Amino acid sequence: METTALLRQLSEAVGPPGYEAPVAELIERLWRPYVDELRRDPLGNLIARRRGSGAEPRPVLLLAAHMDEIALLVSGYAEAYGHGYLRIEPIGGIDRRVLLGQRVWVHPRDGEPLPGLIATPPPHILSQSERKKVPPWDHLFIDPGLPIEQLEARVRIGDPITFRADYLELKNRRVAGKAFDNRVSVAVVTLALAALLERTHAWDIVAVATVQEEVGLYGATTAAYGVAPTAAVALDGTFARQHDVGEDEAVALDGGPAIGVGPNFHPYLVDRLKEVAEHHEIAHQIEAIPRGSGTDAWAIQVSREGIPTALLSVPMRYMHQPVELLSLRDVERAARLLTEFIADLRADERPVWEDEHGS
């Protein structure tokens, strides 16, 4: 499967937190050829199992990649000269600075998506002080081009809104688009599942496209409880170096996937990931995260009695903007590392603490 075509489909799919059904349908189609079972849990997580070759009961590795994307919600209507506008609020950590002039899709519960614009008055008409400020939420509106009565008939309060951002291929195998956080990880898991068709692996692999990460890691919370895995790898994007970002705040773009190190991650799994990357000469980097990572790994680690968890991240610039940028080479390296890590897990192997002996 071509990485760029896969990422394009995933990026352009729709899936705000709590409204993930469209992207879940796409991922279900992508994963079906590679897995033995597929189901949705009551929260909406898409859960796929690929059985291992070891004797039952087999250990289970959970792979968690969130499929939701930051978005907006219709919170009300406004009218000016008979023309209809939608009031908006953010779902997840939207950066208000990037909203002005954006094109969006409004997704009515029934009916076709409506194109719209994020509308503010032109600079000529604003006062000096207004021109310098990012407008607050109650001064940001969506203009879908309809009279107020028609708008009220078609769009309901609570309907979600997503960025209308085409996938863009830049030079040097770099690409930009919306929702790379975290559809890039869904792409990595898809590529790994496809590669595992040709391989044997002892452990069961349960791949989960989680919901509602952007509003509180909720999908990973219920999936970790429901799947009750032996160990887990969460996958996400992380900050890549760029202008105005310090070296210690971010990892290198094109430096390979980042393996998280810190209290959120089990040292045994961290060491195994490093060992596999070194053995197979896969470019990778170590990312020190001295606190909760804010990713699905954080929720999974403290589920049940504690689940040994690792984090694999793809370097990404301009996170939470409709122009998130990454290197396709990093995506492919992450998929290779994940595939080799899974194929390398022995049937009798379990993550242990350094002071545990042979149990």
**Active-site residue list:** 213
Please tell me whether residue 20 binds Zn ion under the rule CB under 5 A: no
Cα–Cα nearest to 237, from 69, 8, 109: 69
Task: Report the distance separating Cα 162 and Cα 68, nearest Å.
Answer: 11
Number of residues that bind Zn ion (CB under 5 A): 1
CB of 90 to Zn ion, least distance (A): 12
CB of 213 to Zn ion, least distance (A): 7
Q: Name which of residues 298 to 327 contact Zn ion (CB under 5 A).
A: none
Which of 107, 183 has the CB closer to Zn ion? 183
Cα–Cα nearest to 188, from 63, 16, 34, 51: 63
CB of 341 to Zn ion, least distance (A): 24
Q: Name which of residues 178 to 207 contact Zn ion (CB under 5 A).
A: 181
CB of 178 to Zn ion, least distance (A): 12
- Both tokens of 357, joined, read 């002996």
Q: Where are the alpha helices (DSSP H) in 234-359?
A: 267-279, 296-301, 328-344
Q: How far is CA 242 from CA 76, 93, 125, 181, 251, in A?
A: 38, 20, 35, 17, 9
Contact track, Zn ion, 31-50, x by CB under 5 A: --------------------
Q: How far is CA 105 from CA 73, 138, 258, 268, 359, in A?
A: 11, 19, 33, 44, 55
Cα-based angle 331, 327, 223 (whole degrees, multiple of 5):
35
Which of 141, 318 has the CB closer to Zn ion? 318
Contact track, Zn ion, 222-261, x by CB under 5 A: ----------------------------------------
Which of 296, 330 has the CB closer to Zn ion? 296
Q: Are 257 and 244 in contact (CB under 8 A)?
A: no
CB of 66 to Zn ion, least distance (A): 8
Residue keyed to tokens 């994307």: 69
Which of 27, 61 has the CB closer to Zn ion? 27
Q: How far is CA 135 from CA 118, 130, 144, 146, 155, in A?
A: 11, 8, 19, 23, 24
Task: Report the distance separating Cα 296 and Cα 92, nearest Å.
Answer: 15
Which of 221, 339 has the CB closer to Zn ion? 221
- Both tokens of 157, joined, read 């309060």
CB of 47 to Zn ion, least distance (A): 21
Which of 181, 204 has the CB closer to Zn ion? 181
Q: SS3 of 114, please?
A: strand
Which H or E element spans position 181?
A: helix 180-196
CB of 57 to Zn ion, least distance (A): 35
Which of 35, 176 has the CB closer to Zn ion? 176
> How long a stretch of residues is the chain?
359
Nearest-CB residue to Zn ion? 181
228: CB partners within 8 A, 6+ apart = 60, 304
Cα–Cα nearest to 289, from 259, 321, 268: 259
Contact track, Zn ion, 153-182, x by CB under 5 A: ----------------------------x-
Point out which residues bind Zn ion (CB under 5 A): 181
